[in-house]
Amino acid sequence: MDKNMRIILATQNSGKLKEFSSIAKLACASVNFEIKPIANDIGDIHETGDNYLDNALIKAETVYAFYHSPVLSDDSGLELIDFNNIPGVYSARFAGISANDGENRNKLCEFMTSNSVSSTPARYRCLLIYKPDVASYFKFEAIWDGVITTDLRGNSGFGYDPMFIPNGFRCTAAELDNEVKNKVSHRAKALFGLFKFLGA
């Protein structure tokens, strides 16, 4: 593996960029692994797929066509196991296309309350795509099991982290130390799979 590797991350989400960069430093201490976000002028990328793979590929192919440089993209979601895996691929827009994290969490709390549950088994899922050139791509998938609760706690992370209690922990993902989270999360597991594939 090249000791100086630059990859474009197909996101403008600052939380996701920070998380990916931190995991890369943790997993590849001997490699100068630079992860760059996409530029604002690339425009909105519409995730029109009905599954994680399709959405991750849409982002990877769009960004590769713009930069002609290796791209890393993911589509991640939260799945409530007893409720047909919702919100799933719609996790980032559960409360609407332009909804923010807080609005999505509120919508999920309302859904759980309407179904008379304060906690329920859940998992995070990450489908990661590494696209090194125009003709090929490689996928890596991982899950993070736990429970979703309507008792929100913690200020770290993003998305549904204040609601998600990982198996083996009493705290939410938003209360976890970042170094711990970046070893056990769904994105960490998927990225470790990529780094192993790359020989890091």
Please give the annotated binding residues, written as ranges: 11-16, 75-76, 158-161, 181, 186-187
The DSSP bridge partners found for residue 138 are 130
d(CA 135, CA 16): 26
Element of type H or E holding 150 = none
Judged by DSSP in three states, 82 sits in helix
Annotated binding site for substrate: 11-16, 76, 158-161, 181, 186-187
Annotated binding site for Mg(2+): 75
d(CA 12, CA 27): 23
E-assigned strands of the chain? 4-9, 32-37, 71-80, 86-87, 119-131, 138-149, 164-166
Nearest to 11 by CA among 159, 147, 151: 159
Q: Are 158 and 104 in contact (CB under 8 A)?
A: no
Q: Annotated catalytic sites, by residue?
A: 75
